[in-house]
Each structure stands twice: as C-alpha cells, then as structure tokens.
Amino acid sequence: MIARRLFFALWPDDSVRHALLHWQTQNLSGDVHWQHRADLHLTLSFLGQVEEQRIAGLRDVGAAQCSAAFTLQIDEIGYWPRPQVLWAGPRVPGEQLVELHARLVSDLEALGFAREERPFRPHITLARKVRERPISAVLAPLQWEVRELALVESRAGAAPHYRLLARWPLS
C-alpha cells in the first residue's frame, strides 16, 4: 500500500521567508544544516504516513477550516538541545492560531488521526544539528500575514524536502 508522509502547515509568504533567510545568513555558521528557504513553514498537525485513499478526506478537512486571515508576530528564537533544532516562533501564539489548530486537530480526530501528545508549540525550524544556541540569537519581530493553510508532503532526498499538495485561503 502506498503511503505519503503528510502534515498540515501554515506557509509563510516571500517577505517572511526572505527575513528568516537573512537571519540565517547573518547568525548561523556553515556547519549547521539550514532549513531550505522553500521549506520554511509552521506545522499545525503532523500526520505521519498516510495511505493514498485517505488524502481526499484530508482535503475536505483543509477546505472546511473556516478561519479569518490573521497576523502572527514571529519574535522569538528558540533552541531545543536534544534534537539540536533552532527555530523562530511567536512568544504569544495568539487566539486565532490556537483556535485554528484546535479546530484542525478536532476534525482530524474525527477522521481517525491521533492527537499529538506534546503540547502545541508553534515554530518555524531554521536549522538542524545545531550544537548550541547561538549567542546572537535575537530576532527583530516579523509580522506575518497568515492567509492560507496547506497540506504538505515530506519527501526524502534533495532540498526542498516539502511539496505543497493543496492550499486553502483564510479569508
């Protein structure tokens, strides 16, 4: 049975991507694994391996997410030492992001997908294999106009690793 590795995400626009890429080039050394510019995203729900016949249901879930577009302030650089991941995210996620995440997770549970056990910590991975948090890990706040939800496939191999399968506007 064919399965794809899928997740729902918010996909930044070019201005946010450019600002994050600029931060990467100014603050990260060449010995870390930078997240490819085209792969920068904020995961809402990781689904794992999904059989092809379930994708239509996921498209329906994505289309059903009635949410207004909203502004998300990306104003924090974080570091998780155990997976050696450096990330950017909001200090305060905001009510609209939290509500969108909750609705999406609820709808996915109705389709039989398991709820993530860890608490939702919205972030955009900037780099992997980072041995320690950079001393200069300060980010000037970025205003991200979140205008769409995406269903994304994770692919092994050359970067970019992610392929958008579907997008839905937030209005």
Q: What is the DSSP letter of 158?
A: S
Residues 94-126 pLDDT 10s: 999 999 999 999 999 999 999 988 899 999 999
> What type of residue sits at position 92?
V
For 71-97, b where at least 16 C-beta lie within 10 A, e where not — what string? ebebbbbbbeeeeebbbbbbeebeebb
Residue 164 has pLDDT above 80, yes or no: yes
Whether omega before 134 lies within 30 degrees of 0, making that bond cis, reads no
| Contact assessment for residue 89 and residue 125, using Cβ atoms and an 8 Å cutoff | no
What does the block give as tokens for 117?
Answer: 């056990």
Could you give phi then psi for residue 99, rounded to 5 degrees? -65, -40
Angle at 8 between CA 124 and CA 54, to 5 degrees: 155
Could you give phi then psi for residue 28, rounded to 5 degrees? -115, 140
- Residues of the chain with pLDDT > 70, as a percent, come to 99
Residues 129-156 pLDDT 10s: 888 887 777 899 999 999 999 999 999 8
Q: What is the DSSP letter of 38?
A: G
* pTM exceeds 0.75 for this model: yes
**Distance, CA of 32 to CA of 130 (rounded, Å):** 6
Phi/psi class of residue 89: alpha, beta or left (left: φ > 0; alpha: ψ in -120 to 50)? Answer: beta
pLDDT score at 32: 83
